[in-house]
Structure 1
Amino acid sequence: MARRPGWSVRLKLTLSYAGFLMLAGTLLLGAVWLFLLRYVPERALLMGDVEGDLDKGVFPIRSVLLQVFAPRAAAVMAILLAFGLVGGWILAGRMLAPLSRITEATRMATSGSLSHRIELEGSTDEFRELADAFDGMLARLEAHVAEQRRFAANASHELRTPLAITQSLLDVARNDMTRDHGVLVDRLHAVNARAIDLTEALLVLSRADQGSFDREPVDLSLTAEEAAETLLPLAEKNGITLEVAGDIAPTLGSPALLLQLTTNLVHNAIVHNLPDHGTVWVTTTAYPEGVVLTVENTGKDLSPEVVSTLVEPFQRGAERVRTDHAGVGLGLGLAIVKSITQAHKGTLLLTPRREGGLTVRVQLPIAR
C-alpha cells in the first residue's frame, strides 16, 4: 500500500510529552495567578517619610505584580518546553527501542530469513508479549516452510519415478520393435496407475489441508464398519482377524474424508501386521468432550522414535501393496490421516504397543 510520508511515532510521542508538560505548567502558573488575584488587593495606600514629611500615595499593586510575574512565567514555560522536548525525545526512544527490533525482524522475515528471532529480554509487557508472539509465529512458519519444501521434494521424486520408468519402457519398445507389446502395455498400465494413485493422494492431502469441505453429522462407528467391510477380503488374504466394536460416536465433518481416514488406518493396521494370525481391533468411544476412533494392531516391536516419524509424508513400511485407497502404499496414508484429523479440529496420537504393533487414537469434537 502506497502511503504519503508522515511524522515518526517517536516525534509524535515527543510532541505529546512536551505538550502535556506545557499544559501542566500553564495550569500551575494559572493557579498561582488566581491565588494572587484573590489575596492581593488591586490598589493599596502607601505612606512614606520623605524629608520629614509624611507622603501618602495609592499604588496599583496588581499591575506591578503582573509586570514582575509575566516575564518570569514566560521563562519558566520556555524551560519547560525545552525540557519536555529533550526529555520526551529520550523517553520515546527508550520506549520504542523494542519496536525497532520487532520491525527489523519483520523486514528480515520478509526478505526470506525465517531463522532470526527477536528474543526480547526483560519483564513481561505489551512489547515483549508482541515479540514473543512474533517469535512463535516465525518458528511455526519456518517449520511449515521446511515441511512444505521437504514434501515438494519428496513428491517430485515420487512423481519422477513412474515417469522415468515410462520413458525407459517406451525407449526399449522403440529400439526393439520385435518385443511383445502386450507385456509393455501391462507394465505401462501398472506404472500409470501408480502415478494416478499418487496424484489422487496428493489432491486428498491438499483438500484436507485447506479445509475446503462441507461439514455434516457423521457417526464414526458406521464409518468404521464400512471401512472394515471394504478391507475384510484383504485381511482374510493376509490371515488377519479384523474386529470392530464400540459405541455410537457422532461428530461433524466430511463423510468422504472421515471414511478415507478410517480406511487408511485399518489398511495400515492390516498391512503392517504379523505374517500370519495377526489381529486388528477397531473401536469407537464417545466421551463428553469428544469421540475417539482407536485402531490397534499386532505386529513387530516399534520404538517411539520410529513411531514419531510415521505421520511424515512418504514414510513407508517394508510392504507396498497396490490399493485403490488414497496414499496407502505410497507413504502418504498416515500423512493424510494427520491432515484430515487437523482439518476436523481433532488430535492424532500414535503409540507403540507393549506386545508389538501400533495403537492409533483419533479424537474429534462430539456433535451435540
Structure 2
Amino acid sequence: MSVRLKLTLSYAGFLMLAGALLLAAVWVFLLRGRPGGSFDPNLSDFLRAFDPRNFGPRVFGAAAAAVLAFLLVFGLVGGWILAGRMLAPLTRITDATRMATNGSLSHRIRLPGRNDEFRELADAFDTMLARLETHVAEQRRFAANASHELRTPLAITQTLLDVARTDPNHDTSELLDRLHTVNTRAIDLTEALLLLSRADQRSFTREPVDLSLIAEEATETLLPLAEKRGVTIATSADITPTIGSRALLLQLATNLIHNAIVHNQPEQGTVWVSTSTHPKGVLLTVENTGEKLTQELVSTLTEPFQRGTERIRTDHAGVGLGLAIATSITHAHDGNLTLTPRSAGGLCVTVQLPAAPPHTGR
C-alpha cells in the first residue's frame, strides 16, 4: 500500500474507534438510571426522552451502525484528501530526485510554505543538488584539463619519434634529452594526479604532527632553489601541533613554498614562512613578493591546471596542480586555505588547520 493509503486508513480507523468509544460511553451513561429504570424527576424532559425503555438496544444499535458507517465514509474521503495535501511536498521532492537521477542537477525544489519538516528536507535537498552540480562541473573541467595536459607530452613524444624515424642522421643525444624532459613531465603530472586523488578520498592515516617542523623541512628542501633564483626565505615558527598525514602536510608546505619561490621577483625576492597558534586552530602562512595580482585572478589559482603567466615562462613550470593539491590536502584535514593578494605585490597564502587535542594521558 502507498503511504497515502496507509494514512487514509489510519485516519479512518482512528475516527471509527473514537466514534465507537463515544457511542459506547453514551449507551453506558443512559443505562445508569435509578433502580427500576426510573430517572430522577429533577432531570429535564430532554433526558427523559432517552429513557432506555423507549430507546432499547435494537434502536440504539441501528443508530450506532448508521453513525459508524457515516464516520467510515467521512474518514476515508477526508483522510484521502488530507493525506494528499500533507504528502504533496514529498511528490515534488520525488520528482526532483528522479530528474537528478536522469542527470538534471540544475533543477531545484524551492518548496513554498511554512518552515516545517518537509520544507527543511526540501531545502537540504536543494543544497545537496547545488553542491553536487558544482562538484560535477569541477570534475568535468578537471577531466578535460587532465586529458589535455596528458595529451601534450604524448603528442610531443610521438613527434620526436617520427623525426628520429624519418631522419636517421638526427642528433640522438639531443633527441634523448628532449624525450627525457617530456617523459619526466608526464611522470610528474601523473604523480600529481594520483596525489590529488588520494587527498580528495582522504585515504590516509592521521597522527600527531607539528606543523612548524613540517614547514622547516620543506624550507630546507627548497633552499637551493631559492638561492639559485636569488630569493631569500625568512622563517618564524611557533610549535603548532595538529592531527593529519605527515606526508601530505609536507607536500602541502612544499607546494606553497615552491609556488612562492617561483612566482617571485626576478631578483632580490623574499618569501616569508611562519607558523602560529590561533584560537580556532593552527596557522601556516606563506607570503612572497612579486607582481601585483587582482582578486579575480587570485580566486582562480586554486583550480586545477590554472597557471599564471610567469609559470609558463619558467624552467620550473610544474604541472598546474600545486595550489589545487594544497587546497585538497587542506580540505582533507578539515582546514581552510585562503589566498590574498598583497598590496605591495605578491601573494599571501594562509592555511588554518584544527589544533591537536591536548594530551590527556597520565
Q: TM-score, normalised by structure 1?
A: 0.90
2:27 aligns with 33
1:345 aligns with 334
Of 86, 90, 98, 2:77 maps to 86
Whichever residue aligns with residue 22 of structure 1, its letter is M
Where 2:184 maps in the other structure, the secondary structure is helix
5 Å-filtered alignment, 1:295-310, equals 295-310=286-301
Q: Are 1:285 and 2:276 an aligned pair?
A: yes
Whichever residue aligns with residue 161 of structure 1, its letter is T
1:319 aligns with 311
Q: Structure 1 residues 64, 230: closer, same or farther in 2, change over 3 A?
A: closer
Q: Are 1:21 and 2:21 an aligned pair?
A: no
Where 2:56 maps in the other structure, the secondary structure is helix
Q: How many positions carry a matched residue from both structures?
A: 343
Where 1:218 maps in the other structure, the secondary structure is strand
Q: Are 1:203 and 2:194 an aligned pair?
A: yes
CA RMSD, 1 decimal = 1.5
1:216 CA drift (Å): 1.2
Where 2:32 maps in the other structure, the secondary structure is helix
1:9 aligns with 3
1:39 CA drift (Å): 2.0
Greater share of strand residues, 1 or 2? 1
Deviation string 1:319-363 (CA, Å, 9 cap, x unpaired) is 24555xxxx721100000000000111111111111111100001
2:343 aligns with 354
1:166 CA drift (Å): 0.4
Q: Are 1:332 and 2:327 an aligned pair?
A: no
1:178 aligns with 169
1:3 aligns with none
Where 1:310 maps in the other structure, the secondary structure is coil
5 Å-filtered alignment, 1:226-265, equals 226-265=217-256
1:184 CA drift (Å): 1.0
Structure 2: 5+ residue runs without aligned partners? 39-50, 358-362
Q: Are 1:147 and 2:138 an aligned pair?
A: yes
Of 88, 91, 100, 1:97 maps to 88
1:195 CA drift (Å): 0.2
1:73 CA drift (Å): 1.3
2:354 aligns with 365
The range that moved more, 313-322 or 118-127, is 313-322
1:161 CA drift (Å): 0.2
Deviation string 1:190-230 (CA, Å, 9 cap, x unpaired) is 10000000000001101100111111111111111111111
1:272 CA drift (Å): 0.7
In the TM superposition, structure 1's runs of 4+ consecutive aligned residues that sit over 6 Å from their partners are: none
Q: TM-score, normalised by structure 2?
A: 0.92
1:64 CA drift (Å): 4.9
CA distance in 2, matches of 1:319, 1:133: 41
Contact kept in structure 1, 2:31 and 2:52, CA below 8 Å: no
Whichever residue aligns with residue 292 of structure 1, its letter is L
1:233 CA drift (Å): 1.2
Structure having the higher Rg: 1
Where 1:124 maps in the other structure, the secondary structure is coil
Structure 1: 5+ residue runs without aligned partners? 1-6, 45-59
Deviation string 1:10-40 (CA, Å, 9 cap, x unpaired) is 0000000000000110011011001001026
Deviation string 1:137-184 (CA, Å, 9 cap, x unpaired) is 011111111100100000000000000000011111111111111111
